[in-house]
Structure formats: structure tokens, C-alpha cells
A and B are shown apart, each in its own frame.
Chain A
């Protein structure tokens, strides 16, 4: 099937089998390898992208289901090559280590903060509890997101 969708502000088209997941389509067909695959059964959150304004697990969507939609991946966040305030804050806070879970966390946090800009620590922990990190013990990630939220409130 030929599908067309808007990814990170650009219209992209490609041919795909219906059974191909959105995660695999982004990575293989569109060569956007920033979105990672960690479990392929919707638990770890590494594959999280934003689809039509909502954070979703791209391993639980068929690519064909995203036809006509707007998708934002980790590659689409930086503005003119500059990391956005959330990304900057995560850098400042030493939020990550191996980086494999990172894109999923960043996209989930982005979606969450857009709807809950004043969220506190416990809400942020719950909002991110569907993303698994094996390296950090989460504290540095939470700190980075809190910092990012503060930065975004100020600007």
C-alpha cells in the first residue's frame, strides 16, 4: 500500500505492507532511526512518537493507520539544529546514560508537558511510568523534565 503522512513537518510517502508497524516504517522506510524498538509489545515505551498531538506507541500502530496523520519523532524536536528547552534541560540534568530509551521518554514528556505544563514530580513520575529505563533509576530523568517544565513556563 502507498501511504502518505506528515512527519516532522515534511510530507513523506512510501509503499508498505499493511502488517508493518509504524515503528519499523519510520526506521526502515523513512530512515528516521531516532525512534527505537525495545519490546514490540507495547510495554517499554522506547518507540513513543506523537501522532496527531497524542503520544502513542509506534510499535502498536500499523504504518497504514498513520496515513494522513501528523507524526512527530525525536528528530523533529530541535529547531534549526538547536535543541529545544526540554532537550537542553535533559542535557543539563545528566538525564540519560546509554540513550536507548531516550527518544521515547522525550516524546512522552513532550506530549505530557504540553497538556500539563505545571505538573509536579509525582504526576511526572506517573506520566513517565510507561517508559522503561534500565540505566538511570529515573531520578535524573524526572529532574530534567521538571527543569524543562520550569524553563518552558518561563519562556
Chain B
């Protein structure tokens, strides 16, 4: 279909963008990469009165590493994050997830912030953000606030961002030493949304797991941390039996949706399989010198 009519603004500074958001609030959609918004517009599923195109806001683009965090400007293109050494070195789980996002042409335009603000529960970056307890920074005319990933994802395609706020950056903690990560997903085809995806991270110390993160994509209306499974893993030594138990726990705790691509029961099964596979991979990587992904 063709896009419906809307008023279009392309602010050239962040302040301009914030003014527009303050004025239009709920009537406005923010256009970043457009890889999610434009299909919604083209299918006439989204009908914003106003579209605010933030692609001119260069200051919101870029990857920096400071104080144990890798900070990614919201407008950073996914392919830029994929090619970033800071991301590869500092946030291997994110580096591992980025190539799963659609296809190269999608990542040429899609942005890290856009994916996190759109909050499709089947997308890769929300699961990574949830796994790593990333911080989302939003700004409005009245100031800035930092929202923990645990508080960011409210519901299906819904976040804690208020209508007058703009997501300006995402902060990912740098992986500690001896951390291994794995992003695994089951999709119908290469490049598709995950039927179920898993962002996993294990930190080992003296042969025991000191930190375990498991966050699912596609298993709910938001990305979901398998907290009970993580607790099972904490303090234990990696083993197949341990990972099987964690897999079972994680799957039991899920209440996944059903759709054309899989029933709820199927998603639970796949979730368990992904936990086993991801934990094995993460543990192996953690054991290699200094961890990595």
C-alpha cells in the first residue's frame, strides 16, 4: 500500500526535535532508520499525524567507550555498530547479535536507538539490552533521565519513553574479564525475526559462574530475563547437566505467544534448546583467555 498523509518535519538540532515532540506528543512518530516505521506506515497500520525525521541529528550518532560503558548514540546505524571495534571488544554480546538483524540493507539504515525505541519483542537488540541491563537515556525539553532496561520495555511495542521524550543514547556495560557470550536464534529463514532468540552471557571465576544472563526474544510481548534459570546457574560450575536444568527452568517459566510460525509449546521447546546451545557456547568462550564472544 502507499503511505497515508502526515505532516513531516526534519529538525536539524536535538532541541528542535524536542520542541516538536513537546508540541505533538502522541500524534507524532519519530523516524530514525525507518526499517520498522515505514513498513507500518506503508501497510497503513500506523497513522501518525506527524512524522519527525531525526536523521539530520548527527550528534546522536557515534560509539564511545567511557567508564566501563560503551555508549551508542541512538541514531548510530546498525552497520556502524557492527563494524565498531569498541563494540566488538567491549560488548561482545551486542556484536554477536547485530548480524542477526535482518539483512545488510536493513542494517544500512536501521539504528540501534530505533530498534530499542520500537521494542519489537522478537527483535535482537531489546533482548541484548535486557540481558546486559543496558541503560536507555531519554531527553526532553525538561531534561534527561536514565531508564534501566528492566524498566524500559513496558509491553508490545511500548516503552517507558514519554511522548515528549527522545531516546538519545544507549549505554551497555563493558563485559568483565572471563565473560563469554552467545546470541542464538531460531528463525524460519536467514535474516528473519526470531521465532525465539536468546542473548546469553556467562562470567566465570575460578571455574564457577559468577554472573549469568539469559534474555529471550520472541518469547513474550517484551524481552524476558530467565531469572530463575540465572539463579540456578549462579555459583555453579558449567556442566551439561547444569545447562539442561537451566534450560528446563527457563522454558518452564515462559508463557510464549502462538502465531503462524510456532505454537507456544514449540517456542518453549526451542527456548530450552537455545539455552543449552548458548550456555555451552558462552562457557567455551569464557574459558578461552580473557573471555570474549
Question: Do A and B touch, yes or no (CB under 8 Å, in the complex)?
Answer: yes
A56 to B189: give the CA distance in the assembly, Å: 20
Residue of A nearest to B37 (CB): A60
Contacts of A112 in B (CB 8 A): 104
Query: Is residue B102 within 8 Å, beta carbon to beta carbon, of the partner chain?
Result: yes
B55 within 8 A of A: yes
Instruction: Write the A65-94 contact mask toward B (1 if CB under 8 angstroms, else 0).
Output: 100000000000000000000000000000
A142 CA / B232 CA spacing, docked (Å): 47
Binds A, one of B4-12, B163-171, B172-180, B195-203: B4-12
Cβ-based interface call for A127 (8 A)? yes
Which chain B residues have a beta carbon within 8 Å of chain A's beta carbons? 1-6, 8, 10, 31, 34-35, 38-39, 41-43, 51, 53, 55, 79, 102-106, 108-109, 189-191
Q: Which of A17, A51, A54 contacts B79 (CB 8 A)?
A: A54
B190 touches A126 (CB 8 A): yes
In the complex with contacts A19-B8, A62-B53, A130-B102, A41-B43 CB distance below 8 A: yes
Q: Is A117 an interface residue (CB 8 A)?
A: no
CB <8 Å contact, A130 and B109 = no
A65 touches B6 (CB 8 A): no
A129 touches B105 (CB 8 A): no
Structural contact, A41 and B104, CB atoms closer than 8 A: no
Q: Are A41 and B39 within 8 A (Cβ)?
A: yes
Q: Are B191 and A60 in contact, CB atoms less than 8 angstroms apart?
A: no
Chain A's nearest CB lies how many Å from the CB of B52? 11
Cα separation A130 to B192 with both chains bound (whole Å)? 9
For residue A21, CB closer than 8 A to chain B, the reply is yes
User: A41-71 interface mask toward B, CB cutoff 8 Å, 1 = contact, 0 = none?
Assistant: 1100100100100111101111011000000
Q: Which residues of B have CB within 8 Å of A57? A: 35, 105-106, 109
Name the A residues within 8 Å of B190 (CB-CB).
Answer: 126, 129
The answer to whether A108 has its CB under 8 Å from any CB of chain B is yes
Complex Cα spacing A22 to B108, Å: 15
Apart from A40-B2, A61-B34, A130-B106, 13 more pairs, CB < 8 Å: A18-B51, A19-B2, A19-B8, A21-B38, A45-B103, A57-B35, A59-B38, A62-B38, A127-B103, A129-B190, A129-B191, A130-B103, A130-B191
A112 to B108, CA, bound (A): 12
| Closest A residue to B4 using CB positions | A19
Give 3 nearest A-B pairs by CB, closest first. A130-B103, A18-B8, A54-B108
Residue on A nearest B5 in the bound complex, by CB: A19
Q: How many angstroms between the C-alpha atoms of A126 and B10 in the bound complex?
A: 35
A29 to chain B, nearest CB (A): 14
Chain A residues near B42 (CB-CB < 8 A): 21, 40-41, 59
User: Can you list 9 contacts pairing A with B, beta carbon distance less than 8 Å?
Assistant: A1-B8, A18-B6, A19-B4, A21-B38, A57-B105, A60-B35, A60-B109, A61-B38, A65-B31
* Chain A residues within 8 Å of B31, by CB: 62, 65
A108:B8 contact, CB within 8 angstroms: no
CB of A128 to closest CB in B, whole Å: 9
Q: CA separation between A130 and B109, bound complex, in Å? A: 14
Q: Are A56 and B53 in contact (CB under 8 A)?
A: no
Instruction: Establish whether residues B39 and A60, one from each chain, have CB atoms under 8 Å apart when the complex forms.
Output: yes
CB proximity of A18 to chain B, nearest CB, Å? 3
From B38, B53, B105, A55 is in contact (CB under 8 Å) with B105
A24 cross-chain contacts in B, Cβ below 8 A: 2
Residue numbers in B under 8 Å from A62 (CB-CB)? 8, 31, 34, 38, 53
Q: For B103, list chain A residues within 8 Å (CB).
A: 45, 127, 129-130
Please name the residue on chain B nearest to A43 by beta carbon.
B39
Do the beta carbons of A108 and B105 come within 8 Å of each other? yes
CB-contacts of A1-40 with B (<8 A)? 1, 17-21, 24, 40
The CA of A60 and the CA of B4, in the complex, are separated in Å by 14
A48 to B: closest C-beta gap in Å = 6
* A65 and B104 in contact, given A19-B4, A19-B5, A41-B42 (Cβ under 8 angstroms): no
**Contact residues in A for B105 (Cβ distance below 8 Å):** 45, 48, 54-57, 108, 130
